[in-house]
Amino acid sequence: MVAPAFLHALIWIGIPVVAAFVLSFTSYDVLTQPRFIGIQNYLDAFGDPVFRRGMLNTLVYAFFTVPVAMAIALLIALMLDTQLRARALFRTAVFIPQVTATIAVALVWLWIYDPRSGLLNAVLSFFGLPAQNWLSSTTWAMPAVITVGIWQGIGLKMLIYLAALQSLPKDVYEAASVDGASRTRQFFSLTLPLLRPATFFVFVTSVISAFQAFDLIYILTDGGPANTTTMMTYEIYKSAFREFRVGYACAQSIVLFVFLLILTLANRRLNGGDSGRH
Amino acid sequence: MELSRRNFLVAMGLGTATVMAGCATTSGSGAPAADASGPAQGDITFLCALFEGATGKETLEGNLLKQFKEKYPDVNVTVDYTDYGSLNEKITTGLASGLMPDVVTLGVGWIPPFAYKNAIAPLPESLATRYTYEERVLEPSRFDGKLYALPMVLDTRIVAYRKDFFEEAGITAPPKDWAELREIAKELTVRDKDGTLQRAGFDPFSIDLRQCWETFLFGNSGELFSADGREVLFDSPEGVAALQLFLDMVADGSADFALTTEAGQPTTLQQGTSAIMMTNNSLYVQLQQQNPELVDKVGTFVLGNTAPAMLQGGTMISQSASSKNPAAARALVEFLGSPDAVLVASEQRGSVPAISDLRDSDYVKGNPMVAFALENLGKARSEGGTPAWMEIREKIKPTLETAVVGQQTAEQAIAQLAGIADDAIARL
């Protein structure tokens, strides 16, 4: 019964992963035969200041987008889990950025961030604050990209939290109320622990998504200025498709894979696994 | 069938064996030049980074390819449109999948890498003398003494300035060297009472920083690489000075790294937020469409410090070395490199036609910036010149930017770039 799924996993996941792993030990430029070079690509990757910068930027991006977006998403989910008027409208509004093509989202934000005619600087100017060069400043480019990442990622996280909140047992809360537990106490002692499986799922998928950030960078900054917003995925793309260093790109991909594996296992251990044991 | 750990390991093993077999049998290097001696017939694909949009498609398929079909009725051409941003990726994926298009458009500097790897086929030398070309124009089409491409359109990087701003300031002539450029740019820079920049004297950042720096490197008598493409030469005092000029102009306030022209928007020169800018010859068409009142107020000049130089980019047409219908592919290359096709492509983009004979055409006579570029082709220089160019070119802009934003000095940035280029060349 699982043969189709197995074949699918073999063809679309297994073979490409193995191929990437094998090619990461070769010098391969698409045009000529792969040549075995041992771990040279890995040495190059860790010795490459731009890829190292990409790793750091990816960590910074994930560090800010994942917890911040998760906290905001939980807050919104809690608000939308009440008997609010026009609740469906608010849910849709929060979820829209998630289903909008990232290219379109990025193009809109490109206009918002425009230093001369952008909405953001117009708002700052209205309050008498100085205009900023959001995407061409080494100080502001990364925060600008992170802001878009947080804004876009809230919708899906909110939806998962909302579904989890709606499945929480009501009797536990009734018992807590009878025992005199305040709403705050109920949130920290009941809601958060009961949401742990959902949190684990949201965290893992969010981290993976943050580590795969590519299209925002491609449109908004092209990794610049001066590599301040380049990410691991963007460097992998450039190595493979712009520089023809496919073997090197495979090594960079394996490094990214190991990063994600470590983070997922660490989170799994911290959360007591996806069953929510604690 | 159960998905167990053992099954998974077996699958991984099979995958590894498949890949290893692929490593052993993959070919590509040393492919012989395509034999184009037979009759031109069969189906061919054309990866095209020209003729953008609906108008471009109509020009190519409704006009040019119809003429081609009349001449070669047994050849069917399928066009795959792309843009410069995706051209490299399309070629990479085409090569990786064994579906390299039969005919491809390539940028200046791309011939040595693709010819070195035998991805494109050499063309007969007779095609270089079929029409009149400036030797500078044909230089990027050659590798190892052989012709690999025919130039179609050129896009030159020139300096444009606002004549009205010059007149207001009493400046009678454009700058002749960098010292004059800095002096004039400072004079033409305007700030409001809060110190906010209203007009930059010079805007070097509206074109790709790589191409801008190369223009100034050549204008300072510098070189990118040795003639054989195996030695880095841009880490010379001339190369450092070219980058330092931008840093100095940012430092004195006459240039601003944040002041650039967004794609599709009027240039800073049109908006009046710069007095002098680096641009390309298509600016004239943009002026006609967006600001006809500025057509007579914008002038152009070729700048240099020790040697006037303008950068010559452009689009060339080449034939895949792995084409299954090489005669048909060759026929299309020859057709697209002919004056009729070159003129139509140039008109559509506001570009400079690569064939010198076309300087007498109505199009060139009616476009002063194109005419200016053609008159100055003797001062044109091209980027590239090494088989490792595709790798090096990607690193130039972000590395130079580190100096412009103050993360390191011009000397350090150029030295870093030279190290990257040396490594890339060593990997050949």
- B350, B378, B379: which is closest to B366 by C-alpha? B350
With beta carbons under 8 A apart, name residues in chain A contacting B397.
224
- Mean pLDDT score, B274-301: 95
Cis peptide leading into A197, omega within 30 of 0? no
Q: Tell me: pLDDT of B354 over 50.
A: yes
DSSP-derived secondary structure for B404-419? HTTSS-HHHHHHHHHH
Q: Tell me the per-residue pLDDT of B369-398, one tens digit each, with 9 for 90 and over.
A: 999 999 999 899 999 999 999 999 999 999
Residues of A in contact with B3 (CB under 8 A): 2, 5-6, 9
How close A120 comes to chain B (CA, Å)?
16
Query: Who's near B229: CB < 8 A, 6+ residues apart?
Result: B112, B385, B386, B387, B388, B389, B425
The answer to whether the CB atoms of A138 and B92 lie below 8 A apart is no
Which of B8, B104, B400, B402 should one mutate to test binding to chain A, selecting the residue with the greatest count of A CBs within 10 A?
B402
Q: How far apart are the first and last CA of chain A?
A: 35
> What stretch of H or E contains A204?
helix A196-211
- Given A19, A31, A241, which is nearest B89 (Cβ)? A241
Query: Which of A136, A227, A241 shows the shortest C-beta gap to B257?
Result: A136
State percent of chain B over pLDDT 90: 78
Name the residue of chain B whose CA is nearest to A222's CA: B398
Residues contacting residue A263 through CB under 8 Å, at least 6 positions apart: A207
Residue ranges covered by each domain of chain A: 15-270
No. of helices (H) and no. of strands (E), chain A: 15, 2
| Digit-coded pLDDT (tens) for B141-178 | 999 999 999 999 999 999 999 999 999 999 999 999 99
3 state DSSP class of B98: coil
The beta-carbon neighbor of B19 closest among A6, A10, A18 is A18
* Beta carbons of B374 and B364 less than 8 angstroms apart: yes
pLDDT tens-place string over residues A4-48 = 888 888 888 889 999 999 999 999 988 788 999 999 999 999 999
One-letter amino acid for residue B93 of the chain: T
Enter the DSSP assignment of B262. P
What DSSP line would sit under B110-179, residue for residue? Answer: -HHHHHHTT-B--B-THHHHSS---HHHHGGGEETTEE-EEEEEEEEEEEEEEHHHHHHTT--S--SSHH
Angstrom CA distances, A229 to A219, A223, A253, B365, stand at 12, 5, 18, 45
- pLDDT, position B319: 96
User: What is the per-residue pLDDT across B397-425, written as a single tens digit (0 to 9) for each?
Assistant: 999 999 999 999 999 999 999 999 999 99
Given an 8 Å threshold on Cβ–Cβ distance, is A2 in contact with B397?
no
Q: Closest-CA residue in chain A for B407?
A: A226
CATH number, span A15-270: 1.10.3720.10
Task: Provide the shortest C-alpha distance from residue B243 to chain A (in Å).
Answer: 14
Minimum distance, in Å, between the CA of residue B358 and any CA atom of chain A:
34
**pLDDT over 90 at A91, yes or no:** no
Report which of B255, B177, B264, B224 is spatially closest to residue B383, judged by C-alpha positions: B224
- Render B350-398 in DSSP notation, one character per residue: T-EESSGGGGGSHHHHT-HHHHHHHHTGGGEE-S--STTHHHHHHHHHH
- Give CA–CA dist A43/B186, Å, rounded: 47
pLDDT of B66 higher than 90: yes
Nearest neighbour of A22 by CB, restricted to B19, B196, B394: B19
Q: Which amino acid is at A111?
A: W
Token pair for residue A206? 């969010």
Query: Which residue type is seen at A244?
Result: F
Distance (Å) from the C-alpha of residue B257 to the closest C-alpha of chain A?
A: 7
- CB contact under 8 Å between A244 and B391, yes or no, is yes
Q: How would residue B20 be classed by pLDDT, with cut points 50, 70 and 90?
A: very low
Mean pLDDT, range A241-250, rounded to an integer: 92
How close B195 gets to chain A, by Cα (Å)?
Answer: 11
How far away is chain A from the Cα of B328, in angstroms, using its nearest Cα?
23
Q: Which residue has the tokens 């000397």?
A: B411
pLDDT tens-digit map of B36-57: 778 889 999 999 999 988 889 9
Interface of A with B in 213-232 (CB under 8 A): 223-227, 230
End-to-end Cα separation, chain B, in angstroms: 47
Q: Is the pLDDT confidence value at A132 over 90?
A: no
- Across the interface, of B15, B26, B397, the residue whose CB is closest to A18 is B15
pLDDT at A191 over 50: yes
CB contacts < 8 A, A to B, total 116
B276: left (phi over 0), alpha (psi -120 to 50) or beta: beta
Q: Which helix (H) or strand (E) holds B426?
A: helix B410-426
Whether the ipTM is more than 0.90: the answer is: no
CA nearest neighbour of A222 among A211, A238, A206, A203: A238
A138/B405 CB distance under 8 A = yes
| CB-nearest partner of B1 from A2, A27, A137 | A2
The alpha-carbon gap from A254 to the nearest alpha carbon of chain B, in Å, equals 15
Mean pLDDT over all residues of chain A?
A: 89
Q: Does the pLDDT value for residue B135 go beyond 50?
A: yes
Contact flag B26-A230 (C-beta cutoff 8 Å): no
pLDDT for B185 beyond 90: yes
Rounded distance between C-alpha atoms, residue A21 and residue A29, angstroms = 15
Please check whether residue A33 touches B, CB under 8 A.
Answer: yes
Which tokens sit at A161? 């939290």
User: For residue A79, is pLDDT > 60?
Assistant: yes
Whether residue A47 lies within 8 A of chain B, CB to CB, comes out as no
Chain B residues within 8 A of A6 when measuring between CB atoms: 1, 3, 7, 11
Contacts of B391 in chain A (CB under 8 A): 243-245
Contacts of A22 in chain B (CB under 8 A): 16, 19-20, 23
Residue B229 has pLDDT above 70, yes or no: yes
Structure tokens, A29 = 């430029």
Please name each of the domains of chain B with its CATH number. 42-155+313-381 (3.40.190.10), 156-312+386-426 (3.40.190.10)
Number of H helices, E strands in chain B: 19, 13
Predicted confidence at residue B2, as pLDDT, reads 46
Q: Do A14 and B12 touch (CB under 8 A)?
A: yes
Binning pLDDT at 50, 70 and 90, where does residue A101 land? confident
Question: Given CB atoms, is A238 within the 8 Å cutoff of chain B?
Answer: yes
Q: What is the overall mean pLDDT for chain B?
A: 90
For A110, nearest residue in chain B (alpha carbons): B262
Strands (E) in B189-258, as ranges, are: 190-191, 197-203
